[in-house]
Structures are given as C-alpha cells and as structure tokens.
Amino acid sequence: MKTILVVDDDKRMRQMYVEFLSGAGFNVKEASNAWDANELLKQEKIDLALLDIKMPMVNGCTFFEVVKLFHPAIKVIIASVYPLSEQKHLIDSATDYYDKSEGINVLLSKVKVALSDDVLIA
C-alpha cells in the first residue's frame, strides 16, 4: 500500500484529503506544518507528498526544497489555490500540480498517475 503525506495548514482540507485518499485505498499521514511533516518523513516511508504552498513559518516552496534534498525519491504534488501556471512558476520541478478548485476526482487521478511505476521523478 502506498503512503501519502498530506501537508496543509487548513484542517478542513487535510481532513477531506485524508478521508478521500484513505477511502481510495492509500495509507495517509497528515501534518499541519513543515516541521511536523519533516518529522514524519524521518519516521515513515512516504511515497508521495501532497503539499500546500502557503503555510505559516515554513512555506511549501521552502519545504519542497528540503524534501527534494533529503528525500529525493518522494514524489510531490503541489496542491494550492494558486493557478497551475503560478504553482509551476513557484516550484518548477514537482511531480504534478493541483488547483484546489479542480475537484477531488482530479486530485485522485493525479495521485494515481504519480504513483504508477512508469512515472519518472521530477
């Protein structure tokens, strides 16, 4: 079973992602900030991180760099209210990008593609 780490400071969004992705058969961990997410990365085998950009203290852009430096095998989907073009401008080497207004089924599709064996790590 693949493990997804949801990193989002919005509790409601985290809960929705956790519930939906768990129901789709994934093992889902969650963190409300980069510090907690980093601790989980040290303790758990994470296959994919779903990462918000705008978070307090350490934003998603900075945390993405930490993930890529210390955990390069982890695939990352950026999940933000920012338009996709702006997400790609801010973080240009993520596995994929998800605009939170696209709907949860679009997210599930992107997660499945990212976790399929034939997808290269960015």
pLDDT in tens, 11-53: 999 999 999 999 999 999 999 999 999 999 999 999 999 999 9
Side chain identity, residue 102 = E
Q: How far is Cα 96 from Cα 113, in angstroms, rounded to an integer?
A: 9
pLDDT value, residue 56? 84
Residue 17, in any domain of the structure: yes
Residue 98, in any domain of the structure: yes
pLDDT value, residue 122? 44
List, for residues 67-114, the tens digit of each pLDDT value: 999 999 999 999 999 889 999 999 999 999 999 999 999 999 999 999
Residue 90, in any domain of the structure: yes
69 alpha carbon, distance to own chain's centre: 16
pLDDT value, residue 117? 65
pLDDT value, residue 119? 46
Residue 11, in any domain of the structure: yes
How many domains would you assign to the chain?
A: 1
* Structural domain range at position 37: 3-115
Residue 35, in any domain of the structure: yes
Residue 96, in any domain of the structure: yes
CATH number of the domain to which 84 belongs: 3.40.50.2300
pLDDT value, residue 14? 95
Residue 122, in any domain of the structure: no
pLDDT value, residue 10? 95
Residue 121, in any domain of the structure: no
DSSP 34-86: HHHHHHHHHHS--SEEEE-S--SSS-HHHHHHHHHHH-TTSEEEEEESS-HHH
